[in-house]
Structure 1
């Protein structure tokens, strides 16, 4: 057989083997891409080996000569396998980097959307007290109404705006990568007692009873000011969503007997939050029928804690994460007015 015929035999055999290997690789890649990438160079070497060996046999080389050719070709298998492993590692690296870049883009887009929503919500909430202050001031300028009636209302609206700005600054500091905590040993029960005392006027004005229970007198290192603010926000949120005659309960203890985690829980009688909204109640600016409503009024304590701009619970989550802990909410099913929500601030002890 001449060399042309031998070459044609080699090409035909290599093409058949290569096609079969390619089909097998495509089928394998649907389930295990990395393994398919590793074996891809072996398919190339295998098809070339089969083609050359078939050509050698077709040209009537001796058995020893054909075997020598085959062994020489098979000697390239380790090299092909090494190339496949390098290729697989590179594919994995590129895939991981692409996934990380995609996740980062999605995260940045989500942050930007939330930032715009927050700016829109806060701007809307600031317009309300600003409009009220302007209307009351113009009324006084025109000599309409009594000074002793309008001035307290102007001051109340001013307190609302100041509280909104204060919440924005607090949230900004908590989200800053350079945020630092002023940790010190604190009796968590005393912290809860102070928060209850601060929220008592708001509870009294709404006809809500405050009750608390300390199962474990935990002393741990934390930023008392930040955690106290978070607990006060939880209390105000609970009081504003509990009807007159209801009860808001505060519990302090460890997580299931685990002394490494302290839990500050606030339970209300708001009637519960729709399950679809549970994951969103800690988002900045978000409001829902079962989680966020405007202020109840300007009674005692109103505006002292929380701004009504939907930032109170976001600050709670920020404080928890800054301490390496978590904030979460669950529905309680007690039936009737007893049903409500349980907000938990979990901090490492």
Structure 2
């Protein structure tokens, strides 16, 4: 066959394929809202029709016998039927994957777990299904965390309301007694009123500090701080409180450890941890505060008590605002019943916020019949 004849055949085949392709695109446009199976069948049928029309046109120019044309058409029909059938099977598989993806998206929207299908049409669909399942798990974890945080906020409002009402009622009662002249020792009442006001001031300060931490507006005045001096001073300040509760408060620290920190805020961290331990400990219990150098070079401040530890299911909630220790961590009252911890449940949340602002880490775990808090801070050369 000459070159001119080949070019003529190629041009004829191109013309037939172009006409059939345009008709196929028009049909697909009309079926844009139809099922994926029907669209794939149209694509397969257009492909076979384009091939058959081109070959038929070329064969007619070659003046083949009618028997040869009949054989050719039968072969083309069988081939086209197989191609369309394969396209229909593939379309059904893709439609099944599409239904699964729609159901998975709806499950994620409802907050339900995403079920994993037995098989997928392709690796891409399998990867997409796996990512949807992982997204559903992450969203479920975030919803659970959000529910816990919302519950903690409600508990915080309830505790704050209770803790504010009690001292305010006491102040009001003592003020009325003083006003009516029913008090034999006014100085004692004045001292009690001042103590209640100090308690309210501390709660307001905690709320303000927590709001600054959550808003990201906590300003730190960083300077080199000797942990030995800072912790020993803080423990000395709290020693009278520990003595009043018959607690054995001790400090075991290494000298020479220096960190770059805000001394006022870091002292607040140590004070909150020690006060938390004292609130949970029974009379006569030891509380050990230590400052050591960790194996990775960081400085670590530890506060260890022997108050029975924290239930494992509560360890993840220790640093939530408004969380309070359950009864195993609460010393019994004078009647032998589980007591109630003081404060508004903000101290440990403030500790975590201040430590994170110093680019440190605070962890809690049960150890030696009690609870231990470790504060890790980047060490600073002396």
Q: Structure 1-normalised TM-score?
A: 0.68
Larger radius of gyration: 2
Q: Deviations over 1:72-108 (max 9, x none)?
A: xxxxxxxxxxxxxxxx89x999999999888777766
Secondary structure in structure 1 of the residue aligned to 2:377? strand
Q: Distance in 2 between matches of 1:141 and 1:321?
A: 48
Change (3 A) 1:290 1:113: closer
Give the deviation of 1:229 after TM superposition: 0.2
1:144 aligns with 2:182: yes
Task: Find the counterpart in structure 2 of residue 118 from structure 1.
Answer: 156
- Equivalent pairs counted in the alignment come to 285
The reply on whether 1:156 has 2:156 as its aligned counterpart is no
Aligned to 2:47: none
Unaligned runs of 5+ in 2: 1-69, 98-115, 335-340
Taking CA–CA contacts closer than 8 Å with sequence separation of 6 or more, which of the two structures ends up with the larger relative contact order? 1
1:188 equivalent in alignment to 2:230? no
Residue 249 of structure 1 is matched in structure 2 by 288
Distance 1:106 1:262 in 2: 34
| Structure 1 Cα separation of the partners of residues 313 and 167 of structure 2 | 31
Task: Quote the Cα distance in structure 1 between the aligned partners of 2:328 and 2:80.
Answer: 72
Q: 2:345 is matched with which residue: 310, 320, 325?
A: 310
Q: Distance in 1 between matches of 2:333 and 2:239?
A: 15
Distance, in Å, in 2 between the alignment partners of 1:97 and 1:331 is 33
Q: Secondary structure at the match of 2:192?
A: helix
Task: Give 2:211's aligned residue.
Answer: 172
User: How far apart, CA to CA, are the structure 2 residues paired with 1:275 and 1:184?
Assistant: 37
CA root-mean-square deviation: 3.9
Deviation at 1:263, TM superposition (A): 0.6
Q: Quick one: distance in 2 between partners of 1:231 and 1:291? A: 23
Q: Could you say which residue in structure 2 is the equivalent of 1:280? A: 317
* Structure 2 SS opposite 1:258: coil
Contact 1:281–1:291 (CA<8 Å) still a contact in 2? no
Q: 1:218 aligns with which of 236, 250, 257?
A: 257
Aligned mates of 1:152, 1:8 — CA distance in 2: 105
